[in-house]
Structure 1
Amino acid sequence: MARILITTDYLTAGDEIDTLLRRHGHEPVYSPYTGPREPADRETLFNGVDGAILASEPVTGNMLTDTARLKVLARSGVGYDSIDVPAATALGIRVCNAPGTNHHSVAELTIGLVIMAARRLAEVTTAVQQGRWPRGAGHELRGSTLGIIGYGPSGRATAQIGAALGMTVQVSTSHPDADDPAVHFTDLDTVIRNADYLSLHTRAGHSTRRLIDGPRLQTMKPTAVLINTARGSLVDEDALAKALRTGTIAGAALDVLENEPLPLNSPLRGLDNLTITSHLAGQTAQARTRAALAAAHAIIDVLAGREPDHPVDR
């Protein structure tokens, strides 16, 4: 019987994934990821297990040494930049993810954050709770420009909703779709410069680390709002905090951060023109089910000697 570690916090004993794994002869064991682990716990996390369904916690090469039984790591999500894939591959450990499972959820939250910013909903609801009754003018989305960086599934879904709302959609991507008449494909700097709402949907990596930095923030409209539901590493948070404080841009909404949860000493704290949510973009009941099933089937396939549907290591 193979032992399967599960760190995704919404997966629990007796649920659909637990039942599926047990039906295939595997034994799930649980160690939910709710924040940074103690060093000793990190070093022994994969001891004695054959596979793991993982949340977005960091998995370093050091954590994978002395794990002779470990055969497969499966992310219950799309991003896998938290895993040292080369180190895993060198040790013969397969790495898989769950693409196409949460892009509708991500797009819906992205547009929700755009609407919040346009109508200043976070500020208004707080004021009402405090006994005030603000009635300042917001902005219609129709006629404004939605800039999108990255045109994978979530970027594409966000573009479709934006276009349906009457927004002009400009996209920077290395994979333009000339058959989409609602989208204008152009270069990165043009998208950043023209956007009223700039939404990030590109992958994290060395080439995109702090893609939105001080100089690029300076080129944005002073009325623009930055939206990030992709990866925290895409934004230089110090530069963003400065831009928000000085009025270089009007606002920002972040669902992802470079360090999660938000550190107490983060420069992003105390900013009235910033909304931060707790990495919720893909966290709908439907997306969770699809992602967890994809991860479980990857575990089952690899341990049965079959090629998984979504490997990221080859």
Structure 2
Amino acid sequence: MKIVVADPIFLTEDHRRRLGRLGEVEVFETYPADDAAFRDRIRDADVVVVGRYGMDAAAFAGAERLRMVAVWQTGYDHIDLDAATRAGVAVANVPAYAFEAVAEFVFAYALALLRRVRLADARLREGDYDWREYCGHQLMGMTIGVIGTGDIGRRVVQIAHGFGMRVLSTTRHPSPERAARLGLEFVDLSTLLAESEILTLHVPLTASTERMIGARELARMKPGAILINTARGRVVDEGALVEALRTGHLGGAGLDVFEHEPLPAESPLRQLDNVILTPHIAFLTEESMDECTFITVRNIERFAAGSPENVVNPGVLARTAPPAP
């Protein structure tokens, strides 16, 4: 069995040894120059480990031996799942990791924006020590709207309680029992947008969530509110967000994800002072990276042993045999 780690991931020597027990391992430490180079990397692989680099139909068509893709993250919207299924390739992800890291990052954004940390740091480095421009706001007593109450969203709710915040969320199936258990109020989306000083998004990218926050939703938000997106860029209409930030309707945004990644050099987001931009790193702690790789390798081990886990297209399993060791 040949295992190809096709783009950069966190991979310790212990992880490499575990993979080595399964077969030949080839590790690429850099991103491919283009899609053709990526296809060349995986051409004779039985198992591919992929991080952020996408796999389209052409990638699957060019890898005739491929039986499994191990996605080194939770999201797999960059993998053509239909093409994988047609090719008989199992795709496994890491469904639950880094929720502590991402939830904490939400509040790093919130505090930095509310307390004007980015501006103060830049001005001080220029020699300006005048403190009077940096009067901000505190989290205690604010209302935070949390869209998505999975592992990450629930941790955000817990941290918000520590700051003494009121928490709103929205769901298709609200119940007093669930609201009490989570420590929040379920409201409709319109109410959540209108009453939240901070809006944070924790939903996967699907047909129903793509651009779920558009011009209409942004207009309903409280003037001066902050939007934080650590989910997927296309959950927000980026053009509408830029306009809401330019006009001052929104007080700021913390964005770790974008419609197009890497963020294009010509993106107007780069010109806005009321935005903090980071390159998709909310998950990035040593603890979460080790956990993610541990589960990724375990997914490959279980697949090779004939007892696959975390497969997101389980229909292929009936016709996909694990590669020979």
1:33 Cα deviation (Å)? 5.3
C-alpha contact (below 8 Å) 2:7/2:53 kept by paired residues: no
Instruction: Encode CA deviations 1:95-141: one digit per residue, 9 max, x unaligned.
Output: 11112211011001111111111111111111111111234211110
SS at match of 1:275: strand
Instruction: Encode CA deviations 1:248-278: one digit per residue, 9 max, x unaligned.
Output: 2111010111212211111212100010011
Partner of 1:248: 249
Partner of 2:24: 27
1:42 Cα deviation (Å)? 3.3
Partner of 2:211: 210
C-alpha contact (below 8 Å) 1:227/1:252 kept by paired residues: yes
Aligned residue type for 2:136: G
Aligned residue type for 1:194: E
Instruction: Encode CA deviations 1:71-108: one digit per residue, 9 max, x unaligned.
Output: 11111111111111121112111111112211011001
Distance in 2 (CA, whole Å) between partners of 1:112 and 1:76 is 24
Distance 1:281 1:300, change over 3 A: same
Distance in 2 (CA, whole Å) between partners of 1:166 and 1:110 is 16
Give the stretch that moved more between structures: 175-184 or 240-249.
Answer: 175-184
SS at match of 2:42: coil
Distance 1:131 1:296, change over 3 A: same
Partner of 1:66: 62
Aligned residues: 309
- Aligned pairs for 1:288-307 (under 5 A) are 288-307=289-308
Residue 138 (structure 2) pairs with residue 130 (structure 1): no
Residue 115 (structure 2) pairs with residue 116 (structure 1): no
1:175 Cα deviation (Å)? 6.0
Identity of aligned residues (%): 35
C-alpha contact (below 8 Å) 1:56/1:80 kept by paired residues: no
1:43 Cα deviation (Å)? 3.2
SS at match of 1:269: helix
C-alpha contact (below 8 Å) 2:195/2:222 kept by paired residues: yes
SS at match of 1:83: coil
Aligned residue type for 2:10: L
C-alpha contact (below 8 Å) 2:39/2:63 kept by paired residues: no
C-alpha contact (below 8 Å) 1:233/1:257 kept by paired residues: yes
Partner of 1:283: 284
Distance 1:42 1:22, change over 3 A: closer
- Aligned pairs for 1:217-228 (under 5 A) are 217-228=218-229
- Aligned pairs for 1:124-203 (under 5 A) are 124-133=120-129, 134-135=131-132, 136-174=134-172, 177-180=178-181, 182-203=183-204
C-alpha contact (below 8 Å) 2:154/2:182 kept by paired residues: no
Residue 72 (structure 2) pairs with residue 76 (structure 1): yes
Distance in 2 (CA, whole Å) between partners of 1:33 and 1:151 is 35
Q: What do you get for the CA RMSD once the two structures are aligned?
A: 1.7
Give the unaligned 5+ runs of structure 1. Answer: none
Instruction: Encode CA deviations 1:19-69: one digit per residue, 9 max, x unaligned.
Output: 11112x3222122454x7413213334211111221122211121003221
Distance in 1 (CA, whole Å) between partners of 2:37 and 2:259 is 22
Distance in 2 (CA, whole Å) between partners of 1:85 and 1:289 is 26
Instruction: Pick one of 80, 96, 104 that aligns with 2:100.
Output: 104
Partner of 1:39: 35
Aligned residue type for 1:66: G
Distance 1:92 1:22, change over 3 A: same
SS at match of 1:296: helix
C-alpha contact (below 8 Å) 1:243/1:249 kept by paired residues: yes
Distance in 1 (CA, whole Å) between partners of 2:168 and 2:307 is 41
Aligned residue type for 1:96: A
> Which one has a larger percent helix, Structure 1 or Structure 2?
2
Partner of 1:313: 313
1:181 Cα deviation (Å)? 5.4
Give the unaligned 5+ runs of structure 2. Answer: 315-325
Aligned residue type for 2:253: A
Aligned residue type for 1:160: Q
